[in-house]
């Protein structure tokens, strides 16, 4: 993302990277880490639950990474295409990427909520524009995912700015969010407070983690 030409994207949040952590690691280590995360999530998910795992393909050092080295032995039921509108591309060597993949990894008894199957497997949802996080999910995307399930407890192990928490609370679902950056935890807390969706218990627990 570091381009040096200035202009429209010179202050883009993604150019500065993430706060407090860096996932720019060799692919074999990255894939091993993500695979282990998925296996641990599967251990926690009930027999009628599912994981919606969003990821981009990419080419690194001339080698294509299609994420088969992450999802190779999990119960992958379907691939959903999230078609984004717009994006950033400083490289004249390839076309502007406009989609990401969502892997639906489902336990044996998982079923969609009534009528959710009408959406199809290509979702055209524009990117989030008004969010200080470098790579935020749009509210519409998370709303579609959560509302398409019957899950009563939603886990987001990489919570970022808290979009999953805000949507889950708005849908009267319980949620658990995990985020190692205090900056992004503050951002999520402010969003929940703004929507009056944070409890005294949640505020206390968050306080004990960082003070």
Architecture of domain 7-210: 3-Layer(aba) Sandwich (3.40)
pLDDT tens-digit map of 30-47:
899 999 999 999 999 999
Band (pLDDT 50/70/90 cuts) for residue 209 is very low
């998925």: which residue's tokens? 38
Rounded to whole angstroms, the Cα distance separating 211 from 141 reads 33
Rounded to whole angstroms, the Cα distance separating 99 from 121 reads 12
Instruction: Return the pLDDT at 135.
Output: 60
Rounded to whole angstroms, the Cα distance separating 68 from 73 reads 9
Instruction: Indicate whether 101 pLDDT > 90.
Output: yes
pLDDT tens-digit map of 131-164:
555 466 888 999 999 999 999 999 999 988 889 9
pTM (predicted TM-score):
0.79
Instruction: Return the pLDDT at 48.
Output: 97
CA atoms within 13 A on the CB side of 130: 2
Instruction: Return the pLDDT at 66.
Output: 82
Q: What is the DSSP string of 125-137?
A: -PPP-S-SSSSPP
Domain ranges of the chain: 7-210
């Amino acid at each position: 993302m570091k381009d040096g030409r200035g202009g429209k994207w010179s202050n883009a949040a993604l150019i500065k990277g993430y706060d407090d952590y860096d996932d720019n690691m060799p692919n074999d280590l990255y894939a091993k880490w993500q695979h282990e995360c998925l296996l641990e999530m599967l251990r926690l998910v009930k027999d009628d639950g599912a994981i919606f795992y969003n990821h981009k393909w990419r080419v690194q050092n001339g080698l294509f990474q299609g994420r088969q080295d992450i999802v190779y032995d999990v119960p992958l039921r379907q691939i959903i295409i999230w078609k984004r509108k717009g994006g950033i591309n400083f490289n004249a060597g390839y076309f502007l990427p406009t989609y990401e993949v969502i892997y639906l990894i489902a336990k044996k008894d998982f079923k969609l909520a009534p009528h959710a199957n009408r959406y199809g497997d290509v979702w055209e949802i524009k990117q989030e524009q008004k969010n200080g996080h470098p790579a935020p999910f749009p509210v519409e995307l998370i709303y579609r995912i959560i509302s398409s399930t019957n899950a009563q407890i939603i886990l987001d192990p990489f919570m970022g700015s808290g979009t999953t928490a805000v949507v889950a609370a708005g849908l009267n679902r319980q949620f658990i969010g995990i985020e190692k950056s205090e900056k992004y935890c503050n951002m999520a807390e402010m969003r929940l407070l703004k929507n009056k969706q944070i409890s005294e218990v949640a505020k206390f627990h968050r306080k004990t983690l960082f003070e």
